[in-house]
Structure 1
Amino acid sequence: MKKTLVSLAAASLLVTSAVAADKGIDIVTTGQAVVYYETQSDNGDSNGDLFGHGHDSSPGIPNSEIQFGVQLGLGADLGNNFTFGSEIQYKGTASLDKNLGGDRQAATTRSANSTIADEIILSQMNISKKIGNTTVKVGRQQLPKALSPFAYTEGWNVFKNSFDAVLVVNTDLPNTTLVASSVGESNPVAPFNTTNFGNLNVGSRVGSNATGLRYNGNIYLLTAQNKSLPNTTITASYYDLGDIENVAGTTEYGGASIFWGDVAIGGKDLPMGLSLGLQGGVIAPDADTAASTTFKDTSAFGVKASIKPVKELTLTAIYTTVDDGTVSITNAGTGVKSPLYSQMVYNQLNVALDADTFVVKAAYNMGDMGTVIAQYGSTSAGAANLERSDYNEFDLMYKLKAGGVQYFAALVVRDWDVASTTETNGGDHLLTSAGTDQDTRIRLWARYNF
């Protein structure tokens, strides 16, 4: 069955290309190849060393993972202001998992000898039509965080996730972009199990506390973004979340709404490259529904400021706060990352609910030698926090583009005030073994775009 699915998915792009070429339609192809590796070691009860292949007593949390992926995209101008877009993704291990890494942390397909099933997916398939200053895109597509902060495409892993959606973008008003969207399903961003498109998450955590909520049906988005003020971009978004139910689909709670705003100030005219950001909003259950008596509103606020004391160096300070509501400030598309400014490499569960977080960051651009980034974050957690512990994270990252290849390396050091109690479903401290209050990770990837 797997081989049949692979053949059908690949053939669909080949047939599309052949038919388009036969009709004289110009075709644009794109692609990328990626190798992704991550290894970790924590001080829990059943964990091995960095660069280890796995641990017998920790079958759900291997020490290392390695992935190999190839992505091919095909676009075409169909005439009459119609355009076509498609993309196919393949993810596997090239058998490197036999001696360099085990299963992906979130993998659901595994065996006793750590064999991982290949995956292939049509990650994008859409048609767009432009009418004046309005563009309508229908089908499987990516959504930008800048215009859809609670249902957006994440790019931190091997490949980006996508959505089954209808997107309408209008630019008739001066310096203004208006967006309306109906979003149905999304696939996970983790390297494996990405072929499953399903209901969007309502701030559900990935881990042993996976008793969260989901949207049953589409969610609806309205966004207005205006750049009329000098050096300023103002964005306001509204989401109608429709029907909310528990993960099992056995209990319905009614609807809820999200109101979210962001103000970004920055430009060459400001001293020392100063840039400022403000964000905030609320997730609120609709009145007179089961949700209004079951859920508490969740409110959040964030501020960030950056300066460039010298051309090569950027310094940033960030503060975010989220109260103890029911729903976390989390991307509904994946249930993983947060739109909060304080999102770092691994702190999404710590910052998204009942948390006050400070982050300081320095980025130094060395030109052709790449960029070094160091950031430190500290979170004070309340009782409703998704990991229920104060938390600290230090990230040291290096980015380089050479010979047409993008390289990335990161050292991530995490610690908690309270040790984890389980490793089931990834652990109550994200992707750690039981008894963990310290964790070290190294992430490496190389990406070639063609």
Structure 2
Amino acid sequence: MKKTLLLSVVASTMIMAGGDITAPVEPVVETPVVAEASGWDFSGQAVLYYQTRDSAAFDLFDQEASAADAGLQLRAVNKDVFSGVGMGFEVNGLSTLNLENGVVSNTMQGVGNGDIDDATDGGWISQAYLTYGFGNTSLKLGRQELPKALSPFAFSEGWNVFKNTFDAALIVNTDITDTTLVGAWVAGANHNGFGAGNNLSDFNSVNEDDGIYMLTAQNKSFEGLTLTGTGYFAAGQGSADDTVILWADAKFAVSDYSIALQGGTIMNDDLADDAVAFGAKVGANFGMFDASVAYSSTDENAVFANVGGVKTPLYTQMILNQGVISFDADYVKAAVGVKALGGKFGVAYGYAVNHADDIAGGADNNPYELDVTYKTKVFNGSTTVFAGYVLTDDDIAGVDSRNLVRVWGRYNF
């Protein structure tokens, strides 16, 4: 019987303050198991999602300030269709349920080109792949999710209605004790952004015909310590030079305490200099309470962000602050969580200690963000409900702070 290695996505479904902020990220590759012909496994989720954010022109909850989507996702997986070859398929559908006629003026995700009238109702194939395993090696070929823990600059983001995905070839090997090796060639992707203008049904090449190559090594030889190193290579197009990204992450947990370090560089001769970023995080768990403090630093030579979306791999990532932390900023984030009322409350505060002089209004400013969240499961654990409030201030003279309210529910079946 062929052995298969299953790739599971365990990146958090929301970049938010209410998560398990002190828990170390576990490797996302399971040990090899014997594949059994168990037939097709069908599952899915139904999502209702609403968000509103005020501005100088519109108040909170105004139609012009609000966006919404209803989504349905259907999934089918068979680990052994024939001779050890597995298959997986996933389709997504979105609709505003005609809320654009009086409640909202935008969608969270789009399925067409143009304004909301062209993007309200439709669907796309989000995953379609083949799998095969031999010995301690597995292959996964086709449209699929990629986890942030092993692919920090090309990963599937979970903050929106549905995750973005990639057209990729993936190989995973665990021959070396306590070590997982992952190789990938990423050919194409859709883009996970906000609004009707981000068409999730539109998959495009990420680097023309050359794609992007990735190699990751993750080691857990020492108890409580997880070391991960990742490298990307993208061949230059036209007159552009080749791009190389190197990124490392080290997480150590002992008892109820954890510490993590991260850092890397983006290298390209077209840049004024190699771009460098690094960060650190410490956390602790006190029963029903947990807390953490994180720091990140990025320079002005390149943007450190996901090629398939808008988020970053930085420990200081919050609900909305990616535009601040990804480029030329020193940032501090403090977060606390408490389990209460059948769920978990989270509060996080982030502050740019130093920020770029040449962006965000052209002034040396200190933008900040406050996130207050609550997350729980209802209906016998089948449905996850999330509510969040975000306060952001760009620290620019004459520009008011802004408020965001986000509410969603996911029913899994």
The equivalent residue for 2:227 is 234
The residue correspondences of 1:89-104 to structure 2 (distance < 5 A) are 89-104=92-107
- Are the aligned partners of 1:187 and 1:196 in contact in 2 as well (CA < 8 Å)? yes
Q: Amino acid of the residue matched to residue 68 of structure 2?
A: I
The equivalent residue for 2:264 is 281
Q: What is the TM-score of this pair, normalised by structure 1?
A: 0.78
SS in 2 for 1:254: coil
Larger Rg: 1
Q: Following TM superposition, by how much is the alpha carbon of 1:295 offset from its aligned partner in structure 2, in angstroms?
A: 4.1
- Are the aligned partners of 1:97 and 1:115 in contact in 2 as well (CA < 8 Å)? no
Q: Distance in 2 between matches of 1:115 and 1:307?
A: 47
* Per-residue Cα deviation, 1:358-403 (whole angstroms, up to 9, x for no partner): 000001112x610000000001212355776431000000001010
How many matched pairs? 366
Q: Following TM superposition, by how much is the alpha carbon of 1:98 offset from its aligned partner in structure 2, in angstroms?
A: 2.0
- Are the aligned partners of 2:361 and 2:396 in contact in 1 as well (CA < 8 Å)? no
The equivalent residue for 2:21 is none
SS in 2 for 1:373: strand
Q: Amino acid of the residue matched to residue 239 of structure 2?
A: E
Instruction: Decide which of 161, 166, 190 is 1:163's aligned counterpart.
Output: 166
SS in 1 for 2:73: strand
SS in 1 for 2:240: strand
List gaps (5 residues or longer) in structure 1: 1-23, 55-62, 201-213, 245-250, 286-291, 420-434
SS in 1 for 2:100: helix
Q: Amino acid of the residue matched to residue 301 of structure 1?
A: F
Q: Distance in 1 between matches of 2:152 and 2:167?
A: 16
The equivalent residue for 1:65 is 67
SS in 1 for 2:316: coil
- Greater share of helix residues, 1 or 2? 1
Q: Distance in 1 between matches of 2:349 and 2:47?
A: 28
- Runs of 4+ displaced beyond 4 Å: 105-108, 384-389
1:36 aligns with 2:19: no
- Are the aligned partners of 1:215 and 1:241 in contact in 2 as well (CA < 8 Å)? no
Q: Following TM superposition, by how much is the alpha carbon of 1:187 offset from its aligned partner in structure 2, in angstroms?
A: 0.6
Q: Amino acid of the residue matched to residue 330 of structure 1?
A: A
* Per-residue Cα deviation, 1:111-150 (whole angstroms, up to 9, x for no partner): 6xx6743121000000000011100000000001111111
Instruction: Decide which of 305, 318, 338 is 2:282's aligned counterpart.
Output: 305
* Per-residue Cα deviation, 1:406-432 (whole angstroms, up to 9, x for no partner): 00011000001226xxxxxxxxxxxxx
List gaps (5 residues or longer) in structure 2: 1-36
The equivalent residue for 2:135 is 132
1:51 aligns with 2:61: yes
- Are the aligned partners of 2:360 and 2:394 in contact in 1 as well (CA < 8 Å)? no
Q: Distance in 2 between matches of 1:384 and 1:258?
A: 25
The equivalent residue for 1:14 is none
SS in 1 for 2:303: coil
The residue correspondences of 1:330-341 to structure 2 (distance < 5 A) are 330-334=305-309, 336-341=310-315
- Are the aligned partners of 1:215 and 1:243 in contact in 2 as well (CA < 8 Å)? no
The Cα RMSD (Å) is: 2.0
The equivalent residue for 2:345 is 372
Mark the CA change 1:442 to 1:30 in structure 2 (over 3 Å): closer, same or farther.
Answer: same
Q: What is the TM-score of this pair, normalised by structure 2?
A: 0.84
The equivalent residue for 1:195 is 201
Q: Amino acid of the residue matched to residue 282 of structure 1?
A: T
- Are the aligned partners of 1:109 and 1:117 in contact in 2 as well (CA < 8 Å)? no
The equivalent residue for 1:180 is 183
Q: Distance in 2 between matches of 1:386 and 1:168?
A: 41
1:360 aligns with 2:360: no
Mark the CA change 1:317 to 1:25 in structure 2 (over 3 Å): closer, same or farther.
Answer: closer
Mark the CA change 1:274 to 1:306 in structure 2 (over 3 Å): closer, same or farther.
Answer: same
SS in 1 for 2:263: strand
